[in-house]
Amino acid sequence: MNPLREDLHALAEQAPAVDLAAQAVRGARRRRATRLAVAIAAATCLIAGGGTVLLQQLRPEPPVMLTPPETTVSPLPPEGVGPIEQAYRPECRTTTCAKNAWRLVTRDGDTYELTTAPETGPLAVTADGRRLAYYSSKQRTIVVRDLASGRTWKSPLKQPAEDFSRSAEHTLRLSPSGLRFIVSSWGGRREPNKLVDVEGGTVSDLPRGWWPVSVSDGSGPVVLVKPYENSSQVRVLGHDPITIPDFTYDYSALAPDGRTLTRLGQTYDPNRRPMVQLDGSIVVFDPVRGGRETRVPISGMPEGLQPSGLGGWLNSTEVTVVATPESPRGPKPMVYAMDVRTGKTRELFALRNYGKTLVPGLVH
């Protein structure tokens, strides 16, 4: 199924100047749910500090790529697991694998199967790859697990499985420690948008219609966005929203300085189809004060790859960026580190199963 952002872009091109976040989200998400159950929108995330991101229709169709040969892998051990590099859902054609169970690939190359997370529930990995969070239908809550020690934490927020049914769409956005997160769901009977502090045992309601981008540990900043027809509002909780001149979901996590956010650059032409297209740049801006923006061309990627998603920060100047093929016969999708001052990139790793892949910290 195509990502929500495809539907919202299509609606934005036809709709009058109204708040699409308020009127289009439900319809767009329901249309998504009636298509394929597994998103072929390229969700890729970043190894050391991002989130996960879904490609928009304004990008070329993803290439047809074969999934790795089906093999039997061991269940995720209770402890002693190294940091996760990426996770993917393989196609299950035999009785030896759990249907649509996530497979977790560590940075050392080990692969494990996660059988405790339900097929339709959310899954997220902290930006450093060391902690995993997923919905437990048995415990009716989000469980956070440290992969090395095996220690687990239960969210104080109890949620019915219907929050994550096939008819709903959901997002789980983790803080660096995984012990503070936002869980959101749209399209079902309930539409929660909650900020949860696991250690503090608190649950706070977030404003409806705002999509979570980034959440920090402790009492740190929380970043939300709301797209409109030809613009978006970006809001750091505790501050007034700012308006940017793009309809987009393609943001990075908030930088370590708490005042820098990036998004993929785009151009708009009402006489072109699609009207909005990525332009191969990154836009750096202040989500608290707004004002001047810096647009930096992205460089260093091989011909045939284009930047298509952002995640977390590797350090004070480098953010993770996903690059995907411009054509079906293009190069393999890759994850890069990019210097936001110069736009130069350096390769991190290749994706194993493009289209059904999650990378730690991806903003999606």
What does the H/E/C string look like for 299-342? ECCCCCEEEEEEEEECCCCEEEEEEEECCCCCCCCEEEEEECCC
* pLDDT for 21: 39
Q: Report CA-CA distances (Å) from 345 to 162, 282, 357.
A: 42, 12, 21
- More confident of the two residues 118 and 162: 162
Cβ proximity of 310 and 293 under 8 Å: no
* pLDDT for 61: 43
Q: Report CA-CA distances (Å) from 89 to 51, 75, 207, 255.
A: 18, 14, 32, 30
Mean pLDDT of 124-149: 95
State the DSSP string of 138-197: TTTEEEEEETTT--EEE-S----GGGGSTT-EEEEEE-TTSSEEEEEEESSS---EEEEE
Judged on CB neighbours under 10 Å (0-12, 13-18, 19+), 219 is exposed
Mean pLDDT of 94-123: 82
The rounded percent of the chain whose pLDDT value lies above 90 is 57
Query: Distance between CA 123 and CA 281 in Å, rounded?
Result: 30
| Residue 91 confidence class, pLDDT cut points 50, 70, 90 | low
* pLDDT for 230: 86
Q: What is the pLDDT of residues 139-182, one digit of tens each?
A: 999 999 999 999 999 999 999 888 887 767 889 999 999 999 99
Query: Distance between CA 147 and CA 85 in Å, rounded?
Result: 13
List the structure tokens of 247: 């309809």
| Mean pLDDT across the chain | 81
Query: Distance between CA 178 and CA 191 in Å, rounded?
Result: 22
List the structure tokens of 187: 């399209």
Phi then psi for residue 211, to 5 deg, are: -95, 135
Query: Distance between CA 49 and CA 310 in Å, rounded?
Result: 10
Q: What is the pLDDT of residues 305-328, one digit of tens each?
A: 999 889 999 999 999 998 999 888
H or E segment and range at residue 7 = helix 4-14
Query: Distance between CA 64 and CA 70 in Å, rounded?
Result: 17
* pLDDT for 248: 93
Mean pLDDT of 114-140: 90
* pLDDT for 110: 95
Cβ count within 10 A of residue 93? 8
- More confident of the two residues 118 and 74: 74
| Residue 364 confidence class, pLDDT cut points 50, 70, 90 | confident
Q: Report CA-CA distances (Å) from 195 to 122, 201, 254, 337, 364.
A: 15, 11, 16, 29, 17
H or E segment and range at residue 204 = strand 202-205
Q: Look at residue 58 and give its three-state secondary structure.
A: coil
Q: Which of 27-41, 194-208, 302-316 has the lowest mean pLDDT?
A: 27-41
Q: What is the pLDDT of residues 258-269, one digit of tens each?
A: 999 999 999 988
* pLDDT for 340: 97
CA torsion 95-97-100-104 (nearest 10°) is: 180
Query: Distance between CA 270 and CA 32 in Å, rounded?
Result: 25
Query: Distance between CA 254 and CA 259 in Å, rounded?
Result: 7
